[in-house]
Amino acid sequence: MHDCEVFVKTGIAFGDAQAALRHIGKEMLRAGVVEVSYPHALIRRESEFPTGIMLESHGVAIPHCEAVHAIKPAIYLIRPDEAVRFSQADGDEPVSALLIIALIVTHPSQQLVLLRNLFGQLQDPCFIDQLMAAPEQQLAEMFKRKVFPTLST
């Protein structure tokens, strides 16, 4: 994932998770990192396998879909103005996500490594607090430094 681009958006509101997913699809298409099939695949996968996760102090969502829909590896970090309700990955209660981390990977094995690294960091409440408090222009570098420590520049 050495060539993984990290996109960031703050100061945005979504009416629901579907609106957030449509936004992700549109923006990642515009960025040229996904195939035209990606937006639909992302929405379909989220409906079948929800990605909302309740952590110790914050809810997050990690929407993603199959690697076949990706052109280049990327991550889209979104910190919405208000929580977005996502269905929970391992339960029935919805999760109010204050952080959305969309993953775009080109190889399934990369996705497993990325998810393992990401989940390891998400277990640290300090990491989440830093992501929630950081200025928008610092989010990408902070995320890379923690999730891809060997890639720091």
- pLDDT values of the chain reduced to their tens digit, one per residue, 153 residues: 457 899 999 999 999 999 999 999 999 999 999 999 999 999 999 999 999 999 888 899 999 999 999 999 999 999 999 999 999 998 888 999 999 999 999 988 777 778 888 888 988 889 999 999 999 999 999 999 888 865 443
Token pair recorded at residue 69: 């829909």
Question: Beta partners for 7?
Answer: 76
Give exposure, 37-50, as e/b (b: 16+ Cβ within 10 Å).
ebbebbbebbeeeb
> Residue 74's CB: how many other CB atoms inside 10 A?
22
Q: Which of 68, 16, 60 is nearest to 42 (CA)?
A: 68
Question: Beta partners for 144?
Answer: none
| pTM, 2 dp | 0.92
**Active site residue ranges:** 64
Contact in structure between 8 and 28 (CB atoms under 8 Å): no
Q: Please count the structural domains in the chain.
A: 1
Angle at 63 between CA 92 and CA 91, to 5 degrees: 10
* Chain mean position to CA 146: 15
Domain that holds residue 88: 5-151
Rounded to whole angstroms, the Cα distance separating 102 from 120 reads 17
Q: At what angle do helices 108-122 and 125-133 cross, to 10 degrees?
A: 90
Measure Cα distances from 75 to 4, 42, 129 in Å. 7, 14, 19
Return the SS3 of 133: helix
Under DSSP, the state recorded for 55 is -
Q: Which domain CATH number covers 125?
A: 3.40.930.10
